[in-house]
Structure 1
């Protein structure tokens, strides 16, 4: 082991952690840890009231440590933190991929970056660079730019370029690719069964593009890829994190883990031991949040890192390298913020809505709008993706009721209540609003039952489109506030 003081080890162990915390201002333990060398923190929806409050929060963090990395998981689609309470004013990746205008994607990402930079956020865990090749994927879906590797690659590169032009570090995720699985790594260990040739032709294509575009960070995935490592999940695999990402693909930026507390690895390894294994494999920063956003967890991980260095399990040189990469990202962020002075554009919301309108796809393009009077809306509520903040609003009822007074409806989480809802819709235009019905047999059954009674109903798909049901089907490619408003305007004849 290299010779360092105990304080040096503790400082380096703190430097590689990016914990979350509870509250709208930094709690005392976070302030103390920043003084002890904590390299970064990550904000979640629970930390956000509005932009003024976030700006005050980040200023308080920098008062303790000027170069602290302030991260957020802001994909600005269905997965939003800064707009979790109101819904994102931007269409998500799938909608941008459907439009397939890389100049638009770059412009959207640049506006998002300006917004984040204006409130003191320096590091965004985005974009999602996964190729959503499995339509039953429960955790990627509309977060991806699509199912075609080259489309995903060009929009990943455009998003990175736009965000980093605004002075915010981008992070391509989830390496080496989370799109070809039907298992959610928040709950269990997904297995990507593709061989190396298929990985090169699909999963790795967007990550190569991200590296070429100069992405500052890459986030690891908690999944197994037997073709690359038959034993360990990617986050804990030196073959994948160092051998593939560093040595073969040539990435020299920051490697950050997905939430280290996620069950895909914590159930088997424990998240303290997983932290050590991830650093040994080549990760530089450990993201920890979720339900473990407290001082005890931060202490546990710090102490596990220090103990691993002292026992020889984790080489001190590897920890020092990780801490140095964290410092380099912090330095890049400071320089980028100084060079990117453009403030948020007050007209940006109009761009977001315009982009969402461009993404709409209608199976009957000659359909006549507006609707013939106030509509009745039935929204079918699926189980939400774990990555989506539960308070994030979605749907069509609220934005349509704002434009067409008298619009009413119901949200159903099962087929119970459907007969009453169909009865209430009689004599009015009926809208059936779904997200990924192909993944939920009860929603598909409810749609078929509804269309048998009301074949004139309009089906609005706000997730990943599959084979359309109904004579008139509108796909938004996401459930953001911008997407809801865009389809509401269409139906209202605006």
Structure 2
């Protein structure tokens, strides 16, 4: 009967945890060789607390990988309480300035280094070819593969040069999906020729730019490995395509295994064994993991080895790759970076994280907006933020005008009629509105709300801070992002259209 050492199994695992200090069970696991941890917004309070947390992690395991999702836009963990001070990928793609894109990548890495984080699950290098995509959208640099490839390379090269590793995601490409893999198992019905032309160039560019890790996706691509196998569980995708064809020699990271696209039918322990067998090296487990869950994963992996379903050598290979990356990162992060919050510029940045001014001004971000001819806010219009259900990757971070400190009225589906009826002009008539949403065309109630407001309130305009429909029917203004600085740019436009 085959077996593998528990330390090798734990050398591939990257759990999340509950709390803002290091739990004792996790400290013990780290001392025993756990690969590292993944931080989420709920683990972060401020720069000093975060650096104390990462110092504690590193004290338990000096070569621990400390990972986070900090995409530099709508998806942020350091700035979860305020919204990010960076414009996000879609805005950068529309500005199409590679030097600026590199500056944002470097600035994000600088914040992470100061926080003691050494692996960033970013950038998103998916080509957002489907405008109805519920989970990628403005996280992508755009819908053109060549543009996405060159901006991915610029962002990655600058970020890696700052000593913090990236994870280009979501291989082999999540852009042409109509489902969210957090909630389901999406299928990309593209031919191999279409994949070669559209999905794969950004990953090839990412590898050439020095990406030390690449993240797999929980999607099915029948052209690569039949109609049922998620990429995270596919040796054809991870070994034959990513390693053999594209030449990637770094660490393959799984997307979170608590997502429905991975473990919805088999459970997290079995998903871990399947991901390792397919070629994943570092397993992102999820958010609020426990010691008991890690023990179940260890047992499932060792059982798969005992049944000769999973070679022990595969786990040892994965653990060795992860350990080598951890040793590399131990030499560069923390790199003596000053903690944010020690200067007047830091104090003015909004949440204590950013040091100095952002790499791009709100005024320049305005130039990335798409504005229909004649669109402008009516005099006396009320700003209304349309709150739809945030996708799980973005979470509940402040966004748009509210994140930038602007005064808005919030409306949700259940209270839309009552809230809008209360918004009257000085004469008691119906006041014009500025309706601000994200991905407006994807929500039936939002479309109906915009149609009714346009019909009954002359001067009403609709603003989409997500990825708008191709016909722009529900976007008189499209900002292609909703981070704090994009919200500031929108306020600037509303004041000076």
CA distance, structure 2, for counterparts of residue 76 and residue 408 of structure 1: 24
Q: Which residue pairs with 2:456 in the alignment? A: 453
The answer to whether residue 232 in structure 2 is matched with residue 228 in structure 1 is no
Q: Does the 8 A contact of 1:108 with 1:352 survive in 2? A: no
Q: Which residue pairs with 1:305 in the alignment? A: 301
CA separation of 1:429 and 1:454: change in aligned 2, threshold 3 A: closer
The TM-score normalised by the length of structure 1 is: 0.91
Q: Which residue, out of 243, 246, 267, partners 1:249?
A: 246
Q: Does the 8 A contact of 1:261 with 1:289 survive in 2? A: yes
Q: Which residue pairs with 2:360 in the alignment? A: 351
CA separation of 1:419 and 1:430: change in aligned 2, threshold 3 A: closer
Q: Does the 8 A contact of 1:166 with 1:342 survive in 2? A: no
Q: Does the 8 A contact of 2:16 with 2:285 survive in 1? A: yes
The structural deviation recorded for 1:400 is 6.1
The answer to whether residue 395 in structure 2 is matched with residue 394 in structure 1 is no
Alignment of structure 1 residues 25-424 onto 2, 5 Å: 25-230=21-226, 231-290=228-287, 292-337=288-333, 346-349=355-358, 351=360, 353=362, 356-364=365-373, 372=379, 375-390=381-396, 392-397=397-402, 399=404, 401=406, 409-414=409-414, 415-417=416-418, 419-423=420-424
The structural deviation recorded for 1:297 is 1.1
The structural deviation recorded for 1:338 is 7.4
Q: Does the 8 A contact of 1:169 with 1:215 survive in 2? A: yes
Q: Does the 8 A contact of 1:130 with 1:203 survive in 2? A: yes
Question: In the TM superposition, what whole-angstrom CA distance separates every residue of 1:230-262 from its partner, at most 9, and x where no partner exists?
Answer: 141110011111011011110000001001111
CA distance, structure 1, for counterparts of residue 105 and residue 264 of structure 2: 35
**Count of aligned positions:** 479
The structural deviation recorded for 1:265 is 2.3
The structural deviation recorded for 1:459 is 2.2
Question: In the TM superposition, what whole-angstrom CA distance separates every residue of 1:328-370 from its partner, at most 9, and x where no partner exists?
Answer: 2112223344779698773233636455334223223x7778x
CA separation of 1:448 and 1:335: change in aligned 2, threshold 3 A: same
CA separation of 1:310 and 1:352: change in aligned 2, threshold 3 A: farther
Q: Does the 8 A contact of 1:422 with 1:450 survive in 2? A: no
Q: Does the 8 A contact of 1:126 with 1:173 survive in 2? A: yes
What is the RMSD computed on CA atoms of the aligned residues? 2.4
Residue segments in structure 1 that go unaligned for 5+ positions in a row: 402-406
CA separation of 1:419 and 1:493: change in aligned 2, threshold 3 A: closer
Q: Does the 8 A contact of 2:141 with 2:151 survive in 1? A: yes
The structural deviation recorded for 1:102 is 1.3
CA distance, structure 1, for counterparts of residue 253 and residue 425 of structure 2: 51
CA distance, structure 2, for counterparts of residue 480 and residue 263 of structure 1: 27
Q: Which residue pairs with 2:350 in the alignment? A: none
Q: Which residue pairs with 2:347 in the alignment? A: none
Q: Secondary structure at the match of 2:174?
A: coil
CA distance, structure 1, for counterparts of residue 105 and residue 52 of structure 2: 24
CA distance, structure 2, for counterparts of residue 352 and residue 331 of structure 1: 37
CA distance, structure 2, for counterparts of residue 39 and residue 338 of structure 1: 17
CA distance, structure 2, for counterparts of residue 163 and residue 343 of structure 1: 18
Q: Does the 8 A contact of 1:34 with 1:65 survive in 2? A: yes
The structural deviation recorded for 1:492 is 2.4
Moved more, 269-278 or 168-177: 269-278
The structural deviation recorded for 1:28 is 0.5
Q: Does the 8 A contact of 1:91 with 1:355 survive in 2? A: no
Q: Does the 8 A contact of 2:172 with 2:231 survive in 1? A: yes
Residue segments in structure 2 that go unaligned for 5+ positions in a row: 341-353
Q: Does the 8 A contact of 1:90 with 1:353 survive in 2? A: no
The structural deviation recorded for 1:78 is 1.0
